[in-house]
Amino acid sequence: MKRYGTLGTVGWQVLICAIVLSVWQWGYDLRAKLPWLVPDLLDPYFISKPSMIFDNFLIQSCLTSKLGVFNGWFNGEFAKCLARNENNLWAATAITLKNTFFGFVTGVVSGFVAGLILGRSDRLSAIFQPFITAVNSIPRIALAPIIVLAFGIGDMSKIVTSWIVVVFLVFFNTFEGARSIDEGFTNAARLLGASEWQITRTVVVPSTMAWVFASLTPAISFALIGVIVGEFIGAERGIGRLIIESEARGEASGMMVAVVVLMLVGVVLSAIIWRLQAYLLRWQRQRSAE
Amino acid sequence: MSALETSVPTSLRASADRRVEVKGLSKSFQLARTTIEAVRDVTFDVRRGEFVALLGPSGSGKSTVLNMIASLIRPTGGEILIDGKRVVAGKATPDVGYVFQRDTLFPWRTVADNIGYGLELSGVPAQERKARIAECVAQAGLKGFESAYPSALSGGMRQRAALMRTLIVEPQILLMDEPFGALDTHTKIDMHEVLLRIWEREQQTVLFVTHDLGEALTLADRIILFSARPGRIKDMFTVDFDRPRDAVKVRETPHYAELFQHIWHSLGEEFVKGRSA
């Protein structure tokens, strides 16, 4: 890695983290001496503190009791703690992840198929174009209350909310990709005897892939947003539910734990997409090496 | 083959050694509100196994003629027969291979998978495919690059791979649209060698579009000279150098210089006309 100055890139990153965390942890303590310097926002009542967030994380994840004593694995305290709270951090994360996954997969698959069909058919795209533009103009998240009303407070409403935000994103990217295929490729395939279906499979799909992948990283974030909003509106379990409960108790550290978990989940999911993309679009990487 | 021959009507048998027949072909394009006449009443035949160059300045409609023969463009008038069968626009004619000016290798396939594409389409088993790809890779001098992606290759290598992708399905008729137009002079002459050796062995019927007189003389049996727009046939020349030809040495003969000068005069007139048009 290229070094900038005496601190490497990683050095700077560590320094920035240390500064932000320090200000967050101790900044508000300075308020008594320097009231003009410290804004109200640093009040731990709103944003908690790293140390409190960490303690809260240990409690919510059942690693320690509320008194800060570690829950033993072998004496069954850990299991008991999990059983007491149906929406403990682990269960909440699992359920949110599960719904995100289904919303993402259904959204990507249906958006991709629809984009491919309409992108390859001038007639169908002409017919559906005004409807798509109209529906796309609706902020999809505004539909979340209606979806919860229609599908109940169970998992299905979360999956549908997630699906509806993902599907359009992937659809539009696939559609554009399918429209912008180099005619030289389709002509070459046709002259080598490819049928329409073979052209779709061997030319249209691979050359649209770069466009589809461009939409997948935002799509995974959108899927997560869809699920969380669905959980805000009505749910029994999930990380969104954890945030709402902590807010009701006025407990900032509880909310922050959920936010940090969401951040980690988001980072991991994006990394998976990125790895998949690097593999499937490896033919593109040689170009930049040229 | 014999079954086919017996069923061919006598009227068609007369043209049995004419693989490609172009009759009164014309094409006009609508551009904005003006009609552009690209090709006007073009008629010619190509014999089985003949190497014909379509030569002319840019805008003389020679590529348009080739694309109509390839079924990529619908003619405004006239017809094209290949082995007595009418070419229908939008329907690829079996046995006809096409090499584009710009190599259209699929960037998402490796060199080997690009070359084997045509065999994959017709469902040739993987084992046989592999053997035939290896053969073509060797012929094109691409050994060691089988699993590279096209983006990693030089222009000449890409065009050789593209040529092999077309040749692997063993087309009897080869349509080539300025296939070496984007290459530098040396690479171009290397490609002429490659193409000449393949053609001497396989004896395909070749229609080769070019604006490079030297290239046409090196390769072809016959040169059809197109006039500036609207494209018409201005003249035809027989190129009677001995075969097999050496792409370098053929240019050194006095006969080459003589023919070059003779055709150059005629071609030059069209360049001038094309400039003023």
Please state the rounded mean pLDDT for residues B254-277: 83
Task: Confirm or reject contact between A202 and chain B (CB < 8 A).
Answer: yes
Q: How far apart are CA A105 and CA A111, in angstroms?
A: 10
Return d(Cα B277, Cα B273) in angstroms, integer.
6
A193 with B121: Cβ contact below 8 A: yes
pLDDT value, residue B277: 55
- Give the tens place of pLDDT for each residue, B167-192: 998 889 999 999 998 888 888 998 89
- The confidence score (pLDDT) of residue A289 equals 37
pLDDT of res. A5: 67
Residues of B with CB below 8 A from A194's CB?
A: 121
* pLDDT (0 to 100) of residue A262: 93
Residue numbers in B near A182 (CB within 8 A): 104
Question: How close B39 gets to chain A, by Cα (Å)?
Answer: 22
Chain B residue closest to A199 (CA)? B121
* ipTM of model: 0.82
CB-nearest partner of B92 from A193, A286, A289: A193
Q: How far apart are CA B218 and CA B195, in angstroms?
A: 11
Q: Which two tokens stand for residue B21?
A: 């027949």
Mean of pLDDT values over B252-277: 84
B8 pLDDT band, cuts 50/70/90, is very low
Q: Which one of B71, B96, B121 would you mutate to disrupt binding with A, by most A Cβ within 10 Å of its Cβ?
A: B121
Task: List the pLDDT tens digit at each of the 290 positions of chain A.
Answer: 555 567 788 999 999 999 999 999 998 888 888 888 888 888 889 999 999 999 999 999 989 888 888 888 888 888 888 888 888 999 999 999 999 999 999 999 999 999 999 998 889 999 998 998 898 899 989 999 999 999 999 999 999 999 999 999 999 999 999 998 998 999 999 999 898 899 999 999 999 998 998 899 999 999 999 999 999 998 999 999 999 999 999 999 999 999 999 999 999 999 999 999 888 888 886 444 33
Chain B interface disruption, residue of A283, A285, A290, most B CBs within 10 A: A283
pLDDT of B89 reads 87
Give backbone dihedrals phi and psi of A115, rounded to 5 degrees, phi first: -65, -35
**Which residues of chain B make contact with A286, given a CB cutoff of 8 A?**
148-149, 151-152
Distance (Å) from the alpha carbon of B110 to chain A's nearest alpha carbon: 8
Give per-residue pLDDT as tens, B70-97: 999 999 999 999 988 898 888 888 889 9
Q: What was the pLDDT predicted at B17?
A: 72
Nearest residue, CB atoms, A193 vs list B94, B102, B148: B94
Partner-chain contact B149 A185, CB within 8 Å: no
Neighbours of B163 (CB within 10 A): 25
- Set of chain B residues whose Cβ sits within 8 Å of the Cβ of A188: 98, 100, 104, 106, 165
Report whether the peptide linkage leading into residue B244 is cis, meaning its omega lies within 30 degrees of zero: yes
Residues in chain B closer than 8 A to A198 (CB atoms): 121
For residue B84, is it left (φ>0), alpha (ψ between -120 and 50) or beta? left
User: Which of B72, B118, B152 shows the shortest C-beta gap to A192?
Assistant: B118
Residue B190 Cα, gap to closest chain A Cα (Å): 23
Q: How far is A101 from chain B (nearest CA, A)?
A: 28
Question: What per-residue confidence (pLDDT) applies to A2?
Answer: 54
Pair type for strands B51-55 and B222-226: parallel
B82-91 long-range contacts, CB within 8 A, separation 24+: B82/B19, B82/B20, B82/B21, B82/B173, B83/B19, B84/B8, B84/B12, B84/B15
Distance in Å, alpha carbon of B114 to nearest chain A alpha carbon: 11
Q: Which of B97, B108, B151 sits opposite A207 (nearest CB)?
A: B108
Q: Which of B71, B94, B104 sits opposite A188 (nearest CB)?
A: B104
Q: Is B227 left (phi over 0), alpha (psi -120 to 50) or beta?
A: beta
Q: Name the amino acid, one letter, at A38.
A: V
* pLDDT score of A40: 84
A23 part of contact set with chain B, CB < 8 Å: no
- Domains of chain A plus CATH, in order, are 89-289 (1.10.3720.10)
Query: What is the Cα B188 distance to its own chain's centre?
Result: 15
* Inter-chain CB proximity B108 and A209 less than 8 Å: yes
Q: pLDDT confidence of B5, banded at 50, 70, 90?
A: very low
pLDDT at B60 exceeding the cut of 70: yes
Q: Which pair of structure tokens corresponds to residue A223?
A: 């899927």
pLDDT tens for residues B125-166?
Answer: 999 999 999 988 988 888 899 999 998 898 888 988 999 999
Q: Which of B107, B121, B122 sits opposite A283 (nearest CB)?
A: B107
Residue A217: how many CB atoms within 10 A of its CB?
Answer: 16
Q: Of A47-56, A244-253, B103-112, B267-276, which gets the smallest average pLDDT?
A: B267-276
Start-to-end C-alpha separation, chain B:
49
Mean residue pLDDT of chain B comes to 87
Residue B42, phi then psi, degrees to nearest 5: -100, 125
β-partners of residue B79 are B23
Q: Look at residue A163 in the predicted model and tell me its pLDDT.
A: 96
Question: From residue B138, how far is each of A161, B110, B120 by CA, in Å?
Answer: 56, 15, 19
Domain extents for chain B?
A: 15-95+171-276, 105-169
What single-letter DSSP state applies at residue A202?
I
What pLDDT score does B16 carry? 56
Q: Chain B: residue nearest A195 by CA?
A: B121
The fold for domain B15-95+171-276 equals Rossmann fold (3.40.50)
In this predicted structure, the answer to whether residue B204 has a pLDDT above a threshold of 70 is yes
